[in-house]
Amino acid sequence: MMIPAIDLINGDVVRLFQGDYEQKTQYTYSPKERQDAYFNAGATVMHFVDLDGAKDSTKRQLSTLKTVVNHPEMIIQVGGGVRTEQDVIELLALGADRVVIGSLAIKEPTLVTNWINKYGNEKIVLALDIKIDQQGRKTLPTHGWIKDSGVLLEDLLAQYQDAGVKHVLCTDISKDGTLSGTNVALYQEMCTAYPDIAWQASGGIGSLDDIKALIPTGVSGVILGRSLLEGKFTLEEAIACWPNA
């Protein structure tokens, strides 16, 4: 499944290079215009990131999100600075189908596990951004990749498996925004080790061949951000090359 992604700052569609707010590209169309184009091209799931909310949860772009999250025919997942249960309640009430939780999922797994139990595993997506060190360990930085959490991916997943976590969006930080290809080996390993999780691969997709390389891994979805925004291929082409599209 292809999952188009849109990052938002001050109501505008943007892309950051490897999470750096200083390396920002801004696009001319509105989030709703882009969403409509993706829907017409065949997208059934979309991913929105509120980068203002990620910096400061009191500055969440609710008016912008309201125009895109309550879609009658698409599954919409929204993330960016989800730090409290009230944030989850607010986004679900706004119309989001899934709430994406990043840093908090790493720092407070007991709390987020409770939310999975309370709201259901279809409503929560863990966004785990991975930095692979020289020893091959999968570490999980937080706070926009600035802080080292000291937590390893496998150790964290062990805490969520009993809660029946369903959706995990996994990004190899070194690939994000580069269009240089994705970490196929990482997703192959994760899908084999955790077959009950619907993995969303994110970061580095720059060509249709990069998408095709993920087919054997078993990932359930592929996040497409910069590659679509910059016209490396069309969403229709991406959907056509994925099995059971």
What lies within 8 Å, CB to CB, of 154 at 6+ separation is 138, 193
Side chain identity at residue 170, one-letter code:
C
Angle at 156 between CA 20 and CA 187, to 5 degrees: 65
Element (H, E) at 128: strand 124-132
Residue of 42, 55, 43 whose CA lies nearest to 16: 55
d(CA 175, CA 223): 13
Backbone angles phi, psi at 174, to 5 degrees: -65, -15
Distance CA 65, CA 60 (A): 9
Shortest CA distance to 13 belongs to which of 228, 245, 186? Answer: 228
List of E strands, 20-112 = 20-26, 45-50, 75-79, 98-101
Type of residue found at 31: P
Q: Would you say 1 and 199 are in contact if contact means Cβ atoms under 8 Å apart? A: no
Residues assigned a catalytic role: 7, 129
Give helix then strand counts, H and E, for the chain: 11, 12
